[in-house]
Amino acid sequence: MTAPDFPPPGTPAETIGLLVEAGPGPGVLHQLTGVIARHGVDITLVEILENRPAGSRTYFEVAVPAGAEALEQDLAALPIVRKVTVVKTFQRIYGKRIIIMGGGAQVGQVALGAISEADRHNIRGEHISVDTIPLVGEQSLADAVRAVARLPRARVLVLAGALMGGDIEKAVREIREQGVLVISLNMAGSVPDSADLVVTDPVQAGVMAVMAVAETAQFSLGRLSRRSF
C-alpha cells in the first residue's frame, strides 16, 4: 500500500467542483472517496445526482491544496469511472441562499423584494439566490423549517404567513442555534417571538433578508436598536 499523497502543511486550498460519471453498483462512492482521501483532499460537499442501472453521477466539492490535475487523473483511472469534469462550485454560481416559505401570496411578495434586492447586489459581483416554497399546515412547515439547516449555503429563512406557532416555533429556535438567520413577517402566533427579526411589510422583509447577507450592503442586524419593523 502506497503512502497517502498529502500536501505540505500550510499549502493554501482552493475549493473546486468535481462531477464524476461512473458505472452503477455498490461501492462506487467508497472507491471515489478513497482516491480523494489518498490525495489529502477535504470533501466539503457530496451529492449523488443520479444512480440508475445505466450509470451514476456524483458531485463533489473539495478543498484542493494544490492543482487538481493529479486528482482528476487518478479518479479517471478507476475502472468504474467513465468521465471526470472539473466544474465551478455552487457557491461560485448560486452563492448564498435565501429561503422563503409560507402562504403563497405572502411568499410571492417577500420574493419580490428579495429578488429585486439580490439583483442589485449580484450586478456588483455578489452571488445570492432566492428559493421559495408555498406551504400550509403546522407539521409541513415545521419539517420544512428544520430541513433548511440541511440545505447547502442556506443563510436566511423568511417565514411568510398569517399564523405560525407550535412546533414551527420550536423548529425556528433549533435552526437559529445552527446559524441560520430567521426573519418572520409580523403575524399571529408565537413564531415572531422566536425570530431574529420581525418585519410587517413582506417586500421589505425580502429586501432586508438579502441585505443581511450581502457583502456589498452596509447593513448589520447587530447594529439595529430594535428587532421589529
pLDDT at 18 over 90: yes
In a domain, 52, yes or no: yes
Q: pLDDT digit string (tens) for 69-105?
A: 889 999 999 999 999 999 999 988 899 999 999 988 9
In a domain, 4, yes or no: no
Asked if 25 and 43 sit in the same domain, the reply is yes
Looking at 52, 72, 89, the residue that finishes a domain is: 89
Q: Specify the pTM.
A: 0.82
Asked if 187 and 219 sit in the same domain, the reply is yes
The C-alpha cell at 135 is 406551504
Asked if 128 and 185 sit in the same domain, the reply is yes
CA 141 – CA 147 distance, rounded (Å): 10
Q: pLDDT digit string (tens) for 38-79?
A: 988 999 999 999 999 999 999 999 998 777 788 999 999 999
Three-state DSSP at 22 gives strand
In a domain, 149, yes or no: yes
Asked if 27 and 81 sit in the same domain, the reply is yes
CA 139 – CA 104 distance, rounded (Å): 17
Asked if 80 and 186 sit in the same domain, the reply is no
In a domain, 7, yes or no: no
CA 21 – CA 12 distance, rounded (Å): 28
Edge-to-edge strands, sheet with 181-185: 128-134, 96-102, 154-160, 181-185, 197-199
Looking at 63, 89, 115, the residue that finishes a domain is: 89
In a domain, 228, yes or no: no
CATH of residue 181's domain is 3.40.50.10550
In a domain, 8, yes or no: no
229 neighbors 219 (Cβ within 8 angstroms): no
pLDDT at 5 over 80: no
Asked if 175 and 104 sit in the same domain, the reply is yes
CATH of residue 61's domain is 3.30.70.260
Total domains in the fold of the chain? 2
Asked if 59 and 22 sit in the same domain, the reply is yes
Task: Look up the domain containing 37 and give its range.
Answer: 14-89
CA 7 – CA 32 distance, rounded (Å): 19
In a domain, 133, yes or no: yes
